[in-house]
Amino acid sequence: MNSEQTNLISDVREHVRYMHELGLEALAADLPVAGEAVARQPERSSSSIQPVERTAPPPDLKAQRFSPDPEKRKPGERIAALPSLAKRQRPQPEKQEKDDENTVLMMAASNPAETEKEEPALIEVSPVLPESTDTMEIIRADIGDCTRCPLHAQGRKQIVHTTGNFNADLMFIGEAPGADEDEQGLPFVGRAGQLLTKIIESIGLKREEVCIGNINRCRPPGNRKPEPEETAACRPFILREVAVIKPKVIVVLGATAAHNLLQIKTPISHLRGNFHDYFGVKVMPTFHPAYLLRDPHKKREVWEDMKKVRDYLNDAK
C-alpha cells in the first residue's frame, strides 16, 4: 500500500468519526487499519447490520452532497465534500458571544425601531394599603338602609356597624352579628363578645382602644354562616374601613373572616398561629370566641396567638 492509500484511509476514518458525531450510526462499520485495506475484504451479512433510529441530518450536511455515481466522481471528491476538521470545530463560547453580539448589532442597524422599543411598563402592585379618601362617615352613609344582599330581608332588626377606636393599632374582624348584636346594634356584645373583651384585656388593652367589626353587618337567620354572595356583597365596606383605620394588626376571628380578608380557603386551624399579610397589615387568624365557648380547650391556642399580637404591637411602637 502506498502512502497515498494510507493517507486516504486515515482521512476516511477521521470523517467516519465525524459522521458518528452527527448521529449517522449506520456508518458504524469497522474500517480496516491502514495497510490492510486492500488485502482484507470486510465480512458482512445482512444480520450484522443493526437497525438504528435516524435523525435528520443538519441542513448544511444535506447541501454537501457529492456525486452519487462513483464513475463520475473525481478522486477525493467525497472527502472534499465533507467539512475540514478545522472548519467543524465548534465555536468557542467567546466567539459565540461575539457572533450573538454582532447579530444584535446587525438587527439594530437594519431595524433601529425594533431595538429602541421601550420596555412595557410594569404594573405596580402596592405592598401597602392605598391612600383612602374615605371616612367612616362616608362609608356608613354609603351603606345606608342596605338591601344589597338577601340578609336585609331575613329578619334583621338593624345593621350592625363597626365600632370602637377608628385610630386603633389593633382591629378585630368577625363573621356576622348574632341575636344580641342584632338587638343592640353593636358588634360582639353577647356571650362571645364578653369573651372577646377578656381576650383584649389579656394583652393589656381596653376594649375601647381597639376597633371591632364584622364581614357581614346583618344577622343571618339562626346564626347560620353567611353565604358567599352575602359576604361578597358586604365585604367591600369592611375593606374600605380597614383602609381608613390603617391598623397595624388585624385579628380575624374564625374561618369566615379569615377567608374573606385573606381570600384563601385554608382551614383556620392551619392559618392561626402565624401572621399573614393584607397590604402590609399583619393579620393574625385565630378561633372565633363563639367557638371557644363550645370548646374551651382552644383558649390556650388563642392565648398563644394573642401573645404574638401583643409582642408585635409592642415592638412596633
Residue numbers at the binding site for ligand SF4 (CB under 6 A): 143, 146-149, 151-152, 159, 216-218, 230, 233-234
Task: Tell me the CA distances in angstroms from 23 to 27, 66, 301, one per residue in order.
Answer: 9, 19, 66
Q: How far apart are CA 234 and CA 212, in angstroms?
A: 16
CA-to-CA distance for 238 and 247, rounded, in angstroms? Answer: 13
Smallest gap from Cβ 234 to ligand SF4, in A, equals 3
Kindly tell me which of 260 and 286 has the beta carbon lying closer to ligand SF4. Answer: 260
CB of 133 to ligand SF4, least distance (A): 22
Write the single-letter amino acid at 163.
Answer: T
Neighbours of 263 (CB within 10 A): 9
Give alpha helix (H) positions in the chain: 3-21, 59-62, 77-81, 93-110, 112-115, 136-143, 179-184, 191-202, 228-245, 255-262, 268-271, 289-294, 299-316
CB of 176 to ligand SF4, least distance (A): 7
Measured between alpha carbons, how far is 252 from 282 in angstroms, rounded to an integer?
Answer: 11
Kindly state the smallest distance separating residue 183's Cβ from ligand SF4, in Å.
16
Q: 170 vs 234, which CB is nearer to ligand SF4?
A: 234
And the C-alpha cell for 20? 458518528
What are the CA-CA distances from residue 3 to residues 42, 77, 90 (Å)?
A: 21, 19, 31
The residues that bridge with 173 in the sheet, in sequence order, are 213, 252
Q: Which is nearer to ligand SF4, 218 or 306 (CB)?
A: 218
Q: Which is nearer to ligand SF4, 156 or 282 (CB)?
A: 156
Task: Name which of 161 and 207 has its Cβ closer to ligand SF4.
Answer: 161
Of 169 and 230, which has the nearer Cβ to ligand SF4?
230
- Return d(Cα 57, Cα 65) in angstroms, integer: 12
> Considering the complex, what minimum distance in angstroms separates the CB of residue 258 from ligand SF4?
18
Residue 236 Cβ vs ligand SF4, minimum distance, rounded to whole Å: 9
Shortest distance, position 317 Cβ to ligand SF4, whole Å = 35
Which amino acid, one-letter code, is at 257?
Answer: A
Of 135 and 147, nearer to ligand SF4 (C-beta) is: 147
CB of 256 to ligand SF4, least distance (A): 13
Closest CB to ligand SF4 among 173 and 205? 173
DSSP 159-217: ----EE-TT-SEEEEES---HHHHHHT-SS-SHHHHHHHHHHHHTT--GGGSEEEES-S
